[in-house]
Amino acid sequence: MASTAMPSPLSVTFLLFLLLLGASFYTIEAREPFACDPKDAKTKGLLFCLASLKVEDRVKDLIGRLTLQEKVKLLVNNAAAVPRLGIKGYEWWSEALHGVSNVGPGTKFGGDFPGATSFPQVITTAASFNASLWESIGRVVSDEARAMYNGGVAGLTYWSPNVNIFRDPRWGRGQETPGEDPVLVGKYAASYVRGLQGNDGNRLKVAACCKHFTAYDLDNWNGVDRYHFNAKVSKQDIVDTFDVPFKMCVKEGKVASVMCSYNQVNGVPTCADPNLLKKTVRGVWGLDGYIVSDCDSVGVYYDQQHYTSTPEEAAADAIKAGLDLDCGPFLAVHTEDAVQKGLLNEKDVNTALANTLNVQVRLGMFDGEPFKHPFGNLGPKDVCTPAHQELALESARQGIVLLKNRGPSLPLSTRRYRTVAVVGPNSNVTNAMIGNYAGVACGYTSPLQGIGRYIKTIHQQGCADVTCADDKLFGAAVNVASQANATILVVGLDQTIEAEFKDRAGLVLPGRQQELVSKVAAASKGPTILVLMSGGPIDVAFAKNDPRISAILWTGYPGQAGGAAIADILFGTYNPGGKLPMTWYPQDYLKNLPMTNMAMRSSQSTGYPGRTYRFYKGPVVYPFGYGISYTKYVYTIASAPTVISIPLDGRHARGNTTTSGKAIRVTHAKCNRLSIGVQVDVRNKGSRDGSHTLLVFSTPPAGHWVPYKQLVAFEKVQVPARAQRRVLINIHVCKYLSVVDKSGIRRIPMGLHSLHIGDTKHSVSIQEAKLGLIKS
């Protein structure tokens, strides 16, 4: 696709002005109302159409008017129309992982809406560690989603984001996630959901969905696929790792939906497990919204997992477990028979419908004219605006990670280097930059095009594609590298290597890409810069240790403006500040490590290495949180407490129920406002302004069930050259300094907790408050 010129960098103020301008001064002809059309005399006076009534009263009234036959046809993603009540059919399935997508049938591009802003893939955006950026992206995506809904080509229910943990580096869908750390993933989830859903009280701009609940991170590996996989997970790992992002998404993000996954967890399909759905998601966490199945999950556990004997039992099990909506036809086909056979009460169907209708009412779908909605004026001019595209560019810049800079060789000087050789299978890609679950981008700037805006280029791919099956194109690539003043190699992966349904076999560059890199670097007469495009980590130890390779950048899948962002960093217009959201392991890590082993913690007796930086202490290529800059930052802890006392809530007697192994149960502590305030001075010692990510880790007191360290806070801070900024970090003790024991109970360990900020450490002693200090 031809390049679309991206706007020049804008000030934050002007960017906000453009965002407001695009959203405020355009009106379109209203789409037909979904329901409650004021021109329809037979429905306009019905109670469920009265916006002045409470949501629950409107929902109750509507359910009372439906027959069982009508109800069951509303339990599926392509919900049927109810013409006698003036209600149109609705497609629930739309996607907006990193921009409005056409993966689901609810969204169509064309006509007035040829495309939408395609932001970087989530793994890239997560590397920014910038919660305000994530929320800003959500706001833009929901603006464009509402505009497309108003134009009749999209829905209002978006089954995004993916908040599974990137547990195994081979997972093909790891690119969709915010990485391997539960707190990082949870904060991303809450921030992006807030951006999507808006902040208008109980009303929803669009309805987001956190997926896939739970312990889902295998697609198709070594003959095991997601439809048949039984994830055997300890209570400790469920509470400590897999459920954390979903809990944060529900409780902090107030998400309107949660999606259950295909796999079983400990022998029970997640979409048929009342302990997961009804008890945990809705009961303990308080979901205000609906629970939806991954597509055909109910059919999968009947047809492929053979979990029930009859389809009616499968339908009954799902609804009684707390499932409200089926992506797929199964519930529409079998629920009525399940009721008639006494396996299910119509009350259970009513409960499921109440949850889905609650969300539709909050979206304004029963309020009559769409143009009267607060976002009813959004239209084609609010999609792919200059401000939205600028934010896509800025997001890519913030997410790119500088891994190596020998010399330093970067940034490249256009005065010193007149011609650059651009080589590699990803050097001139466009669609590959947007990863999966994407839509149609507004336009693209490939790496070659972005670099070409700064300097004269000579180009050879070197490999026909990322599989790099032969060396037929190596000679031409080596030749251009020997002619140019510098060489930029753009290599890595794409969706043919890692994707939904496709887990990776290993961690090295595919095919003969490594050979291409080494031969081109040997021939280059100037510095060789390696640019990696991938969702998952790559073992590039060969390049890290090769003195002929001067610098390494990881870009993830950087979105529609990826080439421009890469060039801005290579030539110094932007100072990189991204940090890796996942560990980069050596290929040897995978020896005797099946993807099907769900254990997070290492085992000395079996030689099991453990997973993620929290539980793995072996060799790495690059660690979680790694990323360098064109400047140097130093930290000083200006103030922080050295002792924190944990008061008990007064209702629990001391003993094993409250304290175990010198750790207090979180549920027995007075947790409100119990936080550690740390003031950190961040000094930029270099000559370039920079946007810096401050990562705070904690090492709990030693214990056989605690992580080696865990992320407890992060902040993005802009620090001008040779200047200093003070950052206040608040660490909630019960949330972030707690650990989970083998029984799945979250506890606060007593003793010394070591806080790590770069090379700076600070110890905090946590102790139980004395009896006289406890207020009951």
Q: What whole-number distance in Å separates Cα of residue 232 and Cα of residue 306? A: 18
pLDDT at 566: 98
Average pLDDT of the residues in 31-56: 92
Task: Give the model's pLDDT for residue 42.
Answer: 86
From first CA to last CA, the distance across the chain in angstroms is: 67
Name which of 160, 156, 154, 179 is nearest 169 in CA terms: 179
Q: Please state whether the peptide bond connecting residue 214 to the residue before it is cis, i.e. omega within 30 degrees of 0.
A: yes
Neighbours of 264 (CB within 10 A): 21
Output phi, psi for 275, to 5 deg: -65, -35
Arithmetic mean of pLDDT, 185-196: 98
The tens digit of pLDDT for each residue in 489-543 reads 999 999 999 999 999 999 999 999 999 999 999 999 999 999 999 999 999 999 9
DSSP letter for 370, please.
Answer: G
Helix, strand, coil % over all residues of the chain, rounded to 5 = 30, 20, 50
Give pLDDT tens digits for 726-756: 999 999 999 999 999 999 999 999 999 999 9
Strands 257-260 and 210-213: parallel
Contact present, 716 and 130 (Cβ < 8 Å): yes
User: 666: Cβ–Cβ under 8 A, 6 or more apart, which residues?
Assistant: 734, 738, 746, 747, 748
Does the pLDDT of residue 763 top 90, yes or no? yes
Query: Which three-class secondary structure string do you get for 88-125?
Result: CCEECCEECCCCCECCCCCCCCECCECCCCCCCCHHHH
- What pLDDT is recorded for position 374? 86
The residue ranking higher by pLDDT, 56 or 44, is: 56
Q: How far is CA 393 from CA 7, 118, 443, 565, in A?
A: 9, 10, 12, 6
- Single-letter residue type at 112: D
- C-alpha 297/C-alpha 553 separation (Å) is 39
Of 72-86, 139-153, 640-654, the one with minimum mean pLDDT is: 640-654
DSSP class of residue 729?
Answer: E
Rounded-to-integer distance, Cα 495 and Cα 682, Å: 39
Structure tokens at 57: 């009263």
β-strand partners of 680:
637, 727
CB 557 within 8 A of CB 535: yes
Cβ count near 673 (within 10 Å): 8
Q: Which of 1-10, 70-79, 122-131, 503-512 has the lowest mean pLDDT?
A: 1-10
> What gap in Å lies between CA 541 and CA 514, rounded to an integer?
11
Residue whose tokens read 């701009």: 205
Question: Residue 392: is its pLDDT beyond 90?
Answer: yes
What mean pLDDT comes out for the span 27-45?
A: 80
User: How confident is residue 654, by pLDDT bands cut at 50, 70 and 90?
Assistant: low
Choose, from 294, 296, 326, 568, the residue flagged as catalytic: 294
pLDDT tens track for 439-470: 999 999 999 999 999 999 999 999 999 999 99
371 — pLDDT class (breaks 50, 70, 90): low
Tens-digit pLDDT profile for residues 319-359: 999 999 999 999 999 999 999 999 999 999 999 999 999 99
pLDDT at 478: 98
pLDDT of residue 662: 86
**pLDDT recorded at residue 651:** 66
Which of 15-19, 334-338, 679-683, 693-697 is least confident? Answer: 15-19
Between 640 and 769, residue with greater pLDDT: 640
Confidence of residue 703 (pLDDT cuts 50, 70, 90): confident
Q: Residue 370: is the preceding peptide bond cis (ω within 30°)?
A: no
For 12-32, what is each residue's pLDDT tens digit?
A: 333 443 344 343 333 444 578
Q: Say if CB 496 and CB 535 are below 8 A apart.
A: no
Average pLDDT, the chain: 93
CA-CA distance, 129 to 181, in Å (whole number)?
12
Instruction: Name residue 368's beta-bridge partners.
Output: none
CA distance 402 to 552: 6
What pairing do the DSSP bridges indicate for beta strands 675-684 and 724-732? Answer: antiparallel
294 is catalytic: yes
Instruction: Indicate if the pLDDT at residue 11 is higher than 50.
Output: no
Q: What is the pLDDT of residue 220?
A: 97
Query: In 10 A of CB 46, how many CB atoms?
Result: 18
pLDDT at 14 (0 to 100): 34
pLDDT band, residue 653 (cuts 50/70/90) = very low
List Cβ neighbours of 9 (8 Å cut-off, separation of 6 or more): 390, 393, 394, 573
Length of the chain: 776
Kindly report, residue by residue over 565-603, the tens digit of the pLDDT.
999 999 999 999 999 999 999 999 999 899 999 999 999
Give the pLDDT confidence score for residue 372 in this predicted structure.
Answer: 72
